[in-house]
Amino acid sequence: MSDKKAQLTVDGKTFDLPVYSGTDGPDVIDVRGLSAEGVLTFDPGFMSTASCESQITYIDGEKGILLHRGYPIEQLAESSDYLETCFLLLHGELPTPEESKKFRDTVKNHTMIHDQMTHFFNGFRRDAHPMAIMCGVVGALSAFYHDTMDFSDQEHREIAAFRLMAKMPTIASMCYKYSMGQPFMYPRNDLNYAENFLHMMFGTPCEEYKVSKTLAKAMDRIFLLHADHEQNASTSTVRLAGSTGANPFACIASGIAALWGPAHGGANEAVLTMLEEIGDESRIPEFIAKAKDKDDPFRLMGFGHRVYRNFDPRAKVMRQTCNEVLEELGLEDDPLLKIAKKLEQIALEDEYFVKRKLYPNVDFYSGIILKAIGIPVSMFTVIFAMSRTIGWFANWNEMIGGSYRIGRPRQLYKGYTARDYPKK
């Protein structure tokens, strides 16, 4: 693969390690042979570990670049839409007009869920968090599509992809309707993907919901901007679960669980909770001081990113969409949104944040847009999960379609050495 070599000397013994170059990004040192030599590498948090080879998404965190199959996210947000981006992530190329039509039609053919699945919802408490419901219901899809599927067959994997893309908005909106005590709305295949989602969220059998084109466009952009993001915590979870040969619907459920935390997908919900807690512009300095205080666990939600040490390119697009949506809805004077704008301005100027390159991330703006559209806060991470499903699936598909081994990290053991059980 490469003539480059790295050398590692441990206790006087030198190992020659192959070094590989990708099409872009840092070189990687192949340490796979080390365990057989009785040496392990130590990298909690996987800051310096490339866990797989992939052709799907590329991020340059220093420069603030995000590419899907080579295309910059800004260009996709401007000229593409969510479903076309799904095709791109899955197949590696943009669709021809014929392929695009067939792809969209097939997604529409799968939007309904098996009627028996509605019974699952009744098992949840009325006040259950929609992420908890979604995690359970998506996992339950594996019970409906298990024995009939052969996932070593690319065609079967493709059907699973269609089922997921099509059914996630239906399931997501059902999670919301259940919590509201409203009847579930069936999908409408005359609407586009984002319009249909808004219809299922806000329509009722008594009254048709008139879908605003601007809001549907903003919704589609939120889906697109969250579609994939390389080997983040939830995608790595899906790959790890998939590496055992588990059912893909169960793997996606594991991704949903990993996404839920406030350090990952739960951040968009945490941003709104934080803004509500701040409550008034006069209290912003107090919260900025808390965020800087190392003895206080509080962090400014929606700021910072593990990979981006520059403006998150998705956040740039989202910021623009945010302004468009607020203008369309005449919400520029909303008190919470005013706090958000002020916070953004202060954090962008404050030395603590500037020095650490803690810019607003995609979730800072998506939370604000979703709130303006009228999506309840508890649904924010659900929408992230539904958008990211294609990224999880594309990564799972890439792994299953190639060569892979079960993921099995090791550890630096710091516990007791062997000792005898006390005699009785």
Q: How far is the CB of 350 from ligand CMC (least distance, A)?
A: 10
Interatomic CA distance for residues 363 and 267, integer angstroms: 6
Nearer to ligand CMC, 130 or 302 (CB): 302
- Of residues 264, 280, 296, 312, which has the active-site annotation? 264
CB < 8 Å & 24+ apart, contacts of 199-204: 200/169, 200/170, 200/173, 200/174, 201/173, 201/176, 201/177, 201/375, 201/379, 202/374
Q: How far is the CB of 264 from ligand CMC (least distance, A)?
A: 4
139 near ligand CMC (CB under 6 A)? no
305 is catalytic: yes
Structure tokens at 12: 């006087």
Q: In what order do the strands lie in the sheet with 5-10?
A: 5-10, 13-20, 28-29
Nearer to ligand CMC, 198 or 278 (CB): 278
Nearer to ligand CMC, 151 or 353 (CB): 353
146 is catalytic: no
Q: How far is the CB of 162 from ligand CMC (least distance, A)?
A: 26
267 near ligand CMC (CB under 6 A)? yes
With CA atoms as reference, report the closest residue to 202 among 164, 172, 230: 172
Nearer to ligand CMC, 110 or 306 (CB): 306
Q: How far is the CB of 288 from ligand CMC (least distance, A)?
A: 9
DSSP string of 85-117? HHHHHHHSSPPPHHHHHHHHHHHHHT-SPPGGG
Among 361, 387, 395, 397, binds ligand CMC (CB under 6 A): 361
Q: How far is the CB of 230 from ligand CMC (least distance, A)?
A: 10
Nearer to ligand CMC, 252 or 301 (CB): 301
| Interior angle at CA 211, CA 260 and CA 219, nearest 5 | 35
Residues 288-307 close enough to bind ligand CMC by CB under 6 A: 291, 299-306
Helix (H) or strand (E) holding 17: strand 13-20
Nearer to ligand CMC, 63 or 101 (CB): 63
With CA atoms as reference, report the closest residue to 302 among 352, 268, 264, 277: 268
CB atoms within 10 A of CB 212: 16
DSSP string of 29-73? E--GGGGGGT-----GGGTT------SSEEEETTTTEEEETTEEH
With contacts defined by CB under 6 A, name the span among 143-151, 239-247, 260-268, 411-419 that binds ligand CMC.
260-268
91 is catalytic: no
Residues 216-245 close enough to bind ligand CMC by CB under 6 A: 229, 232
Cα-Cα-Cα-Cα dihedral sign, residues 295, 301, 302, 305? positive
| Interior angle at CA 76, CA 374 and CA 375, nearest 5 | 10
263 near ligand CMC (CB under 6 A)? yes
192 near ligand CMC (CB under 6 A)? no
With contacts defined by CB under 6 A, name the span among 14-22, 144-152, 356-364, 405-413 that binds ligand CMC.
356-364
Question: Which residues are known catalytic residues?
Answer: 264, 305, 363
Residues near ligand CMC, by CB under 6 A: 229, 232, 263-265, 267, 291, 299-306, 356, 358, 361-363
